[in-house]
Homo-oligomer: A and B are copies of this chain.
Amino acid sequence: MKTALKFKITATDNNARLGQIHTARGIINTPSFIPVGTIATVKSMTVEELKDIGAEIILSNTYHLYLRPGHEVIKKLGGLHKFMNWKGPVLTDSGGFQVFSLSPLRKISDEGVEFRSHLDGSTHFLTPELATQIQAALGSDIAMAFDECTPYPATREYTLKSLQLTTTWAARCLEARTGGQALFAIVQGGVYKDLREQSAEELIKMGFDGYAIGGLSVGEPKELMYEMINYTTPLLPKDQTRYLMGIGDLNDVIEAVSAGIDIFDCVMPTRNARNGTLFTSQGRISIKREEFKEDPNPLDPECRCYTCRNYSKAYLRHLYMSREILSMRLNTYHNLYFYLEFFRKMREAILNGEFERFRREQTPILQNNFHDD
């Protein structure tokens, strides 16, 4: 089936790739960071602000929108883009990860997953077909195949069974697909290289519009995660989009980009912002600290974002200590701006064949967590 999505690589630097995803709703420059708008809003931001800071795509969630307000409601209202007034591309997660991480009780069968709503405890049954229908109703530009996110640790036997289920479900998603929505499959296989290989091979054979690596950053040691990223990424088709799901620590992003990953999503910049942890060109800081009480300087003198151009650390601390809504706004704006700038600089470095220099310069700064708490 023909979809509206095209992917082009415009430059490479070793395995790192500079590219463009062309969608009917606009171009996404890769490597790209996708801000997370779980329930049809990137928390605290307007869509105009997202556009202003350079967001080219956002992510929303099948699981959450199915439960509330309901995908049929959103469909009646003209789809997710119209509902939330975002004119650019949207990627929707399939719900596979959320039934795994949010539902207090779930029962997996070949047919699908029975789960309890984290909102009201009601029972629901999500299948590959339903996940595909929901995403079609939402009208996202890129849909994800419904998968089982294999937990960590898991035995080889469980992991194999789980990836086989994911493969079968991916085939059913492909079958259920209607219209021109792009569909990405998710490679599972836990921390077993041969199973990652098997999963990738089976999915690639079916022919998706892009491929994600799932089931990482679920509790495994970082070295093991890096090993799996570096092993799995080259298994994915060179000429298609490669997506590392749910990972957004910028150290991990650099590692993954150097392996050839193109797109990322993560709640890290937005959730941290609301908790007062802010990213700067000198490292991460916690705005609540006493030392900022009378600090007249901007959060990051090198940053040109609205927050840094207009407010002092003292004011940001005051808003945070007072639990003010404006605190979440200004912090989120800054952190997302920082992330999108980081990705812009990373793309520039790849274009100039200087990705290794970028990596060497950024790594020590990213490890500056001045005051984790």
Contact of A319 among B41, B315, B318 (CB under 8 A): B41
A284-309 vs B, Cβ < 8 Å mask (1 yes, 0 no): 00000000011010000000000000
Whether A294 contacts B329 in the complex (CB less than 8 A), given A84-B315, A315-B83, comes out as no
Quick check: A324 and B77 within 8 Å, CB to CB?
no
Quick check: A322 and B68 within 8 Å, CB to CB?
yes
Which of A43-51, A160-168, A234-242, A254-262 lies at the interface with chain B? Answer: A43-51
Please give me the residue from chain B that is nearest to A295 by CB atom.
B77
Copies in the complex: 2
A302-330 vs B, Cβ < 8 Å mask (1 yes, 0 no): 00000000111011011101101110110
Whether A324 contacts B39 in the complex (CB less than 8 A), given A77-B294, A294-B76, A296-B77, comes out as yes
Which DSSP category, helix, strand, loop or mixed, fits chain A's interface? loop
Quick check: B76 and A326 within 8 Å, CB to CB?
no
CA distance A311 to B322 in the complex (A): 30
User: Any chain B CB within 8 A of the CB of A350?
Assistant: no
Cβ contacts A to B, 7 pairs, < 8 Å? A41-B319, A43-B325, A69-B314, A73-B294, A76-B294, A76-B296, A83-B315
The 3 closest A-B pairs by CB, nearest first: A44-B325, A41-B326, A69-B318
- Additional A-B contacts beyond A77-B312, A77-B315 (19; CB < 8 A): A39-B318, A39-B322, A40-B315, A43-B324, A46-B326, A69-B314, A69-B317, A69-B318, A69-B321, A73-B293, A73-B294, A73-B314, A77-B294, A77-B314, A83-B312, A83-B315, A83-B318, A85-B310, A85-B315
